[in-house]
Structure 1
Amino acid sequence: MREIVTLQLGQQSNYLANHFWNAQESYFTYGAEEESPIDHDVHFRPGIGSDGSETFMPRTVIYDLKGGFGTLRKINALYDIDDDASSSSLWSGQTIVQRQQPIEASSYQQSLDSGQAAPELTTSTVRYWSDFNRVFFHPKSIIQLSEYELNSTVMPFEKWHMGEELFGSLDKEHDLLDRDLRPFVEEADQMQGLQVMTGIDDAWAGFAAKYLERLRDEYGKTPIWVFGAQEPNRGLSREKRLLKLANKARALTEFNSQASLVVPLALPESPLPASVRLDPASAWHVTALFAAALESTTLCTRLKTSDHVYSSSLGNVTDLLNVFGKQTIANLEMSISELQASKQNGNGINGINGHGDNGIGRDGLGRGLYGNGIAHDADSETGSENGVATLDIDLSSPQDLNLDQGYRRRRRRRVFSQILANRGPESLESADHDDEREMRDMYGVRHRPKVHNYRSLVAFPLIDSYPKIFRDSYGHPIKDHMSIQTALSTDSTVTDKVKALRSTVIRYIGLEDRETIGNELAEIADSYKEGWSSDSDEDEDE
């Protein structure tokens, strides 16, 4: 087995993870004639419910603040145990129980409980991430941190030191790894890695940094992937924006030294393509876009190993991306393609059957939603000329390039390594072999192409809990399934982003940490200039 244990830290990450778990639940097949290509044991654990029935629940630990879980209870229909605190108390005297007014379950959750058709979700009906949840979680997965309250105006959980201090006090009292994570790790026969979803621009970044430090001490050689979700900055005051950027700068320095791979996720400030229409003020919408890219780029880590060509692991993908051993920050991009309606109707569950057009041409190059070709970077010196792709939607904080207005001349993008993932019908039929030609850099040193392709027939499921943010060429919402292409890359744009971030926030970081964080950010930027001279690349590309 090759299990992955997930950590969810904070409200943004729980929105993101909830989309992820709902997608995993949709891959389950229940007929004898159907077989899912997904190895469900990677992310789900077997167990026994309170009534003796067998259960299958996510291998995840979920942290959130008081009020962050909405209507989600620690106990559920599969683990309906006695949760009365007075029954287990050593106090023999009279007790007084004070209860807050319970949050009313959403109509969507009520329909799931009653087995009726679910109503369409909207941004106004999704109040919490649990409002669109479709899976049961083990009681041990639910960890509420009552020291802070969600959306508090008195003491908002937004500063780095709050997260650090909260983790320190809780870990000193309980040993969080032993109490919360170890039970899931010990159930794994051969764990392939840990997947951490966290906020990267608020206090959860500080909490995650301390957690990662403990994880690395405990699981020294285990691959740890971090997906850092960021809230849109539109409409925020300058003070709030700088606070978020300072948190992000700290997070990148800490995560870079502890994680195997760090993938920042941010909604681009530039207009999205016409195929995407979302409300940037809705966490449900924004994280749905993130989840589509995250779920697609990691699909190869949970495909059944019978498909040896297109299945992989967190460790293998990390090794492919981190060419020089010190490039842990990766950029994530995506493009979408609608399936032909006539063929989409013939698909079995999740597009496993049928042969819809996923936008991949016979030449192996992708087509955009409206027939546009995906841009390929012919200037890349370490990747295949025919393989390195620049996709429609850049989720890797491209706005960071504009933070330092004084830095006008940027290097041409150089890709060290790239993982291209194509999912949807016919993606295997159109597969072209990786270009094995050698190329030379400016010093004459030969490099093998570093573009790696993964393909799957499994289309991305657009289930009823997922917002209708994707449009076809006629402007209509795409239904049921769609093809997605993602590119996970280590490239030289990280240098410019980190430099711009450093010059913007360094003066707002306390004197005691300013020099250390500034030096660490500079080291990160330098690690993405391996193999060429920065001076020679500051050319006409702006």
Structure 2
Amino acid sequence: MKEIIYIQAGEFSNYTGTHFWNTQESYLPYDEHGDTEIEGDVSFCEGVDEEGRSTMYPRLLIFDRKSNFGTTGADDSEDDSSEIPALWTDGVVEYRQDKIPKSEYQKRMDEEAGAPDDTSGPTHDVKPEESAHDVGNIRYWSDFSRVYYLSRSFQKLPDLPEWEQSTVDWTQGQELFKRFNEESELMEGAFRISVEGCDNLQGIQIINDTDSFGSFMASFLASFRDEYLKLPSICIPVISGAISEHSSGYDAKTTKKLINEAFYLRTLNELSSMNIPIQEPTSWPKEWSDSLGYTSDSIFHQSAVLSAHVETCTLPFRLRLGHQAMSSVSGMLNWRNTCPFGELSGVFPFDYLSSLEERMINFSSNSPIKPSSLYSQLSVTRGFSEKQVSAYTKWSLERQPSNMSSIASIHASAYPLPNSFPSIKQAFVDSPTPTSDLITHAPSSLPMTKLYSSLSTSSNTAKTLEGYARFVEKAAQLHTSAIATMDISFDDLRELANDLWTMHDGAAEVTDET
């Protein structure tokens, strides 16, 4: 077994992570019918609940502002205290915030499971055919969670004052991590306990919102590397994207956000094995939802689609057969060891091979991924029939450039659709009963869909880094008031710009030599 410790930080990343864990939960064998193709112990650890029942818990740390947790972890004693500390004898007026009611989905799960007082947790009693039309109003990422969490998974940061923006200055985020680590003993407590609970840790997988948690996670990575120098890491930062196409004028908020992203990209270049930046959903091509009928401004729907691709492209880390370690995938993608950045692209849901290239969405860049620009690629298909696999293999070989050094494909079970997942058009949904030997290990009680996801490296990375380098370079020259308020010296900005150009050259070297 090669375990993974997962880190989520920020609201959008936690929405994405909740969908991710609901999918992981669907693979767990809760009966005597045998194993699935997924090694559950990679992502879950076994524990015993208060009633002595064996329960599987995610190997996960969740970072977010306290108010974003919703009902998750709301049974903390400090929140449920019914008495006021007797520090004053009179003149005290008590104000209590109303307890957050459970979501419609959680209430329905409780009713189906017959456990009205349970916190959010897995139950297969909720009928899978009851689609996400019935999930109801989603207020927090915890509203549609199907898994139980260990208490140490919850890493609640203080809420920001109403007058402060969610985008945190780079130095403020670093100070926040320092204080939080000192007060909670994060690295020596929750994180170390998670590591010690693994027999053969293969690495950590991080997804985070960069505008609100970029500098916080940069400090986390620095602390992590102090002790775990060679342990692989896969980081998925959510960034604003398309910086090279921005106009020359930036407001203070956008400037702060882009500076944070530039610093974080440099940190990832130095400290993380492989990094897959994801553009904010507002930058995604509008076609991402054409086959789904989703509203493109819904974080619940956006995060569901992203989660399907993240879960699929990292599937090799969790397979029983055909397992590929995080270290080997990172090495394959960054085979020249010059630039640890890649791209995530895919089609969800998949229909026909003839439309694959036309429907492909690049979630990491506004530039399409062209075969001639690829350096390496790992593709994962879900639910393809043997005929489709054969046709895909032929198609892939025909479009592979002669100078491409690393390419691999994995074919796995169809993607399960728990009833917490937004409904998709019925034409894309397969029967819960497997129809091909390629999907016999899929969760038998759930509807499924076909899916294509890909991790790749290409010349697009050099374009992205060039955009950040030019922006930081210009910011250092203009001496804007927005920069002056960020507690960052112009010498630091000039050094950052130089480092970004060096990173750009590392990505562009492959273009020159191939």
Please give the range of the TM-score, normalised by the shorter of the 2 chains: 0.7 to 0.9
Deviation, structure 1 residue 504 = 3.1
Alignment correspondent of 2:410: 454
Identify if the C-alpha distance between structure 1 residues 156 and 372 changes in structure 2 by more than 3 Å, giving closer, same or farther: closer
Alignment correspondent of 2:19: 19
Alignment correspondent of 2:501: 522
Residue among 93, 111, 121 paired with 1:114: 111
Deviation, structure 1 residue 56 = 1.0
| Aligned CA-pair RMSD | 3.6
Letter of the structure 1 residue corresponding to residue 313 of structure 2: T
Q: C-alpha separation between the residues in 2 aligned to 1:270 and 1:219? A: 38
Q: How does 1:154-193 map to 2 (within 5 A)?
A: 154-193=164-203
Question: Does residue 422 of structure 2 align to residue 467 of structure 1?
Answer: yes
Q: C-alpha separation between the residues in 1 aligned to 2:23 and 2:466? A: 37
Summarize deviations over 1:106-162 as a string: whole Å, max 9, x none: 11111111216678458971111011111110111111112536xx34453443333
Letter of the structure 1 residue corresponding to residue 305 of structure 2: L
> SS of the counterpart of 1:45?
strand
Alignment correspondent of 2:298: 282
Alignment correspondent of 1:47: 47
Summarize deviations over 1:67-109 as a string: whole Å, max 9, x none: 010111255xxxxx8668989x9x9978998642111211111
Question: Does residue 266 of structure 2 align to residue 253 of structure 1?
Answer: yes
- Native 8 Å contact 1:327 1:490 kept in 2: no
Deviation, structure 1 residue 213 = 0.8
Summarize deviations over 1:40-76 as a string: whole Å, max 9, x none: 000000112223222211000111112010111255x
> SS of the counterpart of 1:518?
helix
Identify if the C-alpha distance between structure 1 residues 440 and 297 changes in structure 2 by more than 3 Å, giving closer, same or farther: closer
Question: Does residue 342 of structure 2 align to residue 374 of structure 1?
Answer: no
Letter of the structure 2 residue corresponding to residue 451 of structure 1: I
Q: How does 1:477-492 map to 2 (within 5 A)?
A: 480-492=447-459
Letter of the structure 2 residue corresponding to residue 45 of structure 1: C
- Native 8 Å contact 1:122 1:467 kept in 2: no
Summarize deviations over 1:431-487 as a string: whole Å, max 9, x none: 549969x9876xxxxxx731111111x11112221123567489xxxx921111111
Summarize deviations over 1:326-383 as a string: whole Å, max 9, x none: 3211101001345xxxxxxxxxxxxxxxxxxx74xxxxxxx0xxx42537xxxxxxxx
- Native 8 Å contact 1:507 1:514 kept in 2: no
Alignment correspondent of 2:460: 493
Alignment correspondent of 2:377: 418
Comparing both chains, which one has the higher relative contact order based on Cα–Cα distances under 8 Å and sequence gaps of 6 or more? 2
Q: C-alpha separation between the residues in 2 aligned to 1:452 and 1:528? A: 21
- Native 8 Å contact 2:177 2:216 kept in 1: yes
Summarize deviations over 1:213-258 as a string: whole Å, max 9, x none: 111111111111111124699xxx9524343322222211111111
- Native 8 Å contact 1:413 1:493 kept in 2: no
- Native 8 Å contact 1:123 1:282 kept in 2: no
Question: Does residue 237 of structure 2 align to residue 228 of structure 1?
Answer: yes
Letter of the structure 1 residue corresponding to residue 192 of structure 2: R
Identify if the C-alpha distance between structure 1 residues 533 and 224 changes in structure 2 by more than 3 Å, giving closer, same or farther: closer
Identify if the C-alpha distance between structure 1 residues 222 and 212 changes in structure 2 by more than 3 Å, giving closer, same or farther: same
Gaps of 5+ in 2: 113-125, 243-248, 430-445, 476-482
Letter of the structure 2 residue corresponding to residue 452 of structure 1: A
Identify if the C-alpha distance between structure 1 residues 524 and 84 changes in structure 2 by more than 3 Å, giving closer, same or farther: closer
Alignment correspondent of 1:206: 215
> SS of the counterpart of 1:398?
coil
- Native 8 Å contact 1:199 1:229 kept in 2: yes
- Native 8 Å contact 1:275 1:471 kept in 2: no
- Native 8 Å contact 2:135 2:420 kept in 1: no
> SS of the counterpart of 2:105?
helix
Identify if the C-alpha distance between structure 1 residues 284 and 373 changes in structure 2 by more than 3 Å, giving closer, same or farther: closer
Letter of the structure 2 residue corresponding to residue 170 of structure 1: F
Identify if the C-alpha distance between structure 1 residues 135 and 524 changes in structure 2 by more than 3 Å, giving closer, same or farther: same
Q: C-alpha separation between the residues in 2 aligned to 1:111 and 1:135? A: 15
- Native 8 Å contact 1:160 1:204 kept in 2: no
Deviation, structure 1 residue 284 = 1.2
- Native 8 Å contact 1:332 1:486 kept in 2: yes
> SS of the counterpart of 2:277?
strand
- Native 8 Å contact 1:276 1:471 kept in 2: no
- Native 8 Å contact 2:241 2:365 kept in 1: no
> SS of the counterpart of 2:206?
strand
Deviation, structure 1 residue 513 = 2.0
> SS of the counterpart of 2:498?
helix
Q: C-alpha separation between the residues in 2 aligned to 1:272 and 1:429? A: 24
- Native 8 Å contact 1:72 1:130 kept in 2: yes
Alignment correspondent of 1:292: 308
- Native 8 Å contact 1:413 1:492 kept in 2: no
Q: How does 1:70-469 map to 2 (within 5 A)?
A: 70-73=70-73, 75=75, 99-115=96-112, 120-121=132-133, 125-146=137-158, 148=160, 152-200=162-210, 202-230=211-239, 238-239=250-251, 240-266=253-279, 267=281, 268-272=283-287, 274-304=290-320, 307=321, 310-338=322-350, 359=352, 367=353, 371-374=354-357, 392-398=360-366, 413-426=372-385, 430-431=389-390, 432=393, 449-456=405-412, 458-468=413-423
Alignment correspondent of 1:63: 63
Summarize deviations over 1:294-332 as a string: whole Å, max 9, x none: 00001111111xx2xx32111110111111113211101
Percent identity (aligned): 28
Alignment correspondent of 1:78: none
> SS of the counterpart of 1:430?
helix
Deviation, structure 1 residue 33 = 3.0
Letter of the structure 1 residue corresponding to residue 139 of structure 2: R
Identify if the C-alpha distance between structure 1 residues 412 and 292 changes in structure 2 by more than 3 Å, giving closer, same or farther: closer
Higher-helix-fraction structure:
2
Alignment correspondent of 1:378: none
- Native 8 Å contact 2:378 2:408 kept in 1: yes
Deviation, structure 1 residue 177 = 0.8
